[in-house]
């Protein structure tokens, strides 16, 4: 399946350095043909780089420029010469020579046959949303006595937030391990890695170690937590991040589902109040239907069986992180243990292929993020252990990760999960 090119010009929205965007209308298709993505290193010269991004109307992939950290900047063909002139003397690399070509090469391939017994070939490519639902159904059908399909609720546009719940010979109802991916719609690798975990555990459920995990915990995996946004990335705009919700008084579309949770939602500095921003937190906590549904579902799991481990899977940057996002100084009650487990998981990941993940708290490792799922699940749901991860890569490809990295991403990430399952108290 390839994106439908109904409209060839990029006129839909433009993300500025502040995270704000100019959104004239929601076009049928956003083309990135000829766009380049540069990784720019600029030391502490934040003001100059922010000014360049704003004046040229450029977009950034990992938020506003921050001192000491490179920025990944998307530049349209008409601004490439101007951009390169503006950054003369600064250090940069070209991540994508032609972003449109990279997206085309990465595009989902409709090769899956409904009713197939799931095998490793599923992970050789990305897939359409409909195929993901079919694959989950086929995986469940292959293990009918130890799994069931679940829904954590419905999206704004009425799609089920579908997942799979599975268990071992001791039956279901044990403390749960809950993972979800692709809260941010463009982070396709999160979907594939969460599905890899489910596939790996079920197909190896006869081994001694995997059987011990399945007999100790229930596993609930939701590969696509933002189905409306995910579908939109496959039909309209590959780099869409948010859900598809409108905000009163604005023509801009989308709430950031991971800034909408009802814990420290109102703390300033970790999300935007601008509906046009990529990290728009909503008008009030839990007013995004996807966030409200996930929060209610997790609350029910906690009440009925308990939540042993919760993880929210993202991309990109190769990070394994602990609470909190809302503060760089406050620490959770289990901070020492959480940091130790995160460090151990990162080491286990590195042992597979040498891929380096940095561990630490969200605020100190990536940036301040308020109203996040991790902080909410740690403090309100009160899961025993809570983490979030940013998967491959560190910026060579960014959000448009080649399909040949799906399987190694799953294998190394599972090594980190295995470490947690073996070392949690």
Give catalytic status of residue 390 as yes or no.
yes
How far does the chain reach from its first CA to its final CA, in angstroms? 44
Tracing tokens 């546009």 back to the chain, one arrives at 157
The whole-angstrom distance between residue 92's C-alpha and the CA centroid of its chain comes to: 26
Strand 71-75 and strand 59-60: the pairing is antiparallel
Chain position carrying tokens 């599972």 = 414
245 touches 288 (CB < 8 A) = yes
Angle at 397 between CA 392 and CA 402, to 5 degrees: 80
For 395, the token pair is: 């910026």
Decide if 406 contacts 357 (C-beta within 8 A).
no
E strand intervals along 182-289: 218-222
- Reading across the β-sheet that carries 71-75, which strands appear in turn? 59-60, 71-75, 36-41, 91-96
Structural contact between residues 197 and 321, judged by C-beta atoms closer than 8 angstroms: no
Residues 6+ apart with CB under 8 A from 270: 259, 264, 325, 326, 363, 367, 368, 369, 370, 371, 372
Catalytic option among 131, 187, 390, 412: 390
Report the SS3 class of residue 273.
coil
Collapse the DSSP code of 201 into the 3-class scheme (helix H, G, I; strand E, B; otherwise coil) and give the result.
helix
Catalytic residues: 390
């Amino acid at each position: 399946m390839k994106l439908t090119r109904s409209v060839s010009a990029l006129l839909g929205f433009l993300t500025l350095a502040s995270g704000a965007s100019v959104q004239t209308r929601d076009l049928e298709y956003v083309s990135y043909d000829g766009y380049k993505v540069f990784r720019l290193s600029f030391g502490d010269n934040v003001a100059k780089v922010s000014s360049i991004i704003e004046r040229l109307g450029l977009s950034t992939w990992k938020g506003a420029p921050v001192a000491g950290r490179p920025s990944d900047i998307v530049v349209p063909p008409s601004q490439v010469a101007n951009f390169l002139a503006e950054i003369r003397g600064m250090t940069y690399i070209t991540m994508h020579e032609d972003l449109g070509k990279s997206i085309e090469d990465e595009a989902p391939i409709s090769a899956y046959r409904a009713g197939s017994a799931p095998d490793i070939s599923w992970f050789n490519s990305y897939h359409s949303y409909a195929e993901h639902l079919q694959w989950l159904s086929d995986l469940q059908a292959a293990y009918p006595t130890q799994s069931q399909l679940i829904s954590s609720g419905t999206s704004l546009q009425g799609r089920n937030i579908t997942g799979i719940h599975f268990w071992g010979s001791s039956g279901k109802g044990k403390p749960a391990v809950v993972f979800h991916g692709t809260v941010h719609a463009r982070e396709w690798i999160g979907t594939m890695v969460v599905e890899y975990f489910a596939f790996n555990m079920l197909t190896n459920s006869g081994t001694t170690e995997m059987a011990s995990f399945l007999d100790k915990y229930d596993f609930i995996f939701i590969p696509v937590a933002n189905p409306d946004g995910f579908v939109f990335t496959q039909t309209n705009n590959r780099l869409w991040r948010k859900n598809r919700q409108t905000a009163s008084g604005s023509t801009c579309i989308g709430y950031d589902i991971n800034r909408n949770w009802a814990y420290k939602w109102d703390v300033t500095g970790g999300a935007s109040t601008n509906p046009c921003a990529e990290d728009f937190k909503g008008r009030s906590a839990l007013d995004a239907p996807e966030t409200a549904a996930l929060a209610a579902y997790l609350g029910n799991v906690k009440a009925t069986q308990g939540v042993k481990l919760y993880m929210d899977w993202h991309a990109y940057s190769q990070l394994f992180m602990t609470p909190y996002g809302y503060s760089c100084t406050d620490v959770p009650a289990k901070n020492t243990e959480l940091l130790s487990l995160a460090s151990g998981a990162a080491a286990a990941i590195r042992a597979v292929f040498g891929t380096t993940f940095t561990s630490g708290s969200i605020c100190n490792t990536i940036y301040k993020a308020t109203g996040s799922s991790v902080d909410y699940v740690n403090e309100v749901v009160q899961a025993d252990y809570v983490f979030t991860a940013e998967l491959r890569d560190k910026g060579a490809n960014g959000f448009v990760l080649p399909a040949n990295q799906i399987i190694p991403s799953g294998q190394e990430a599972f090594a980190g999960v295995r470490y947690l399952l073996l070392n949690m108290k």
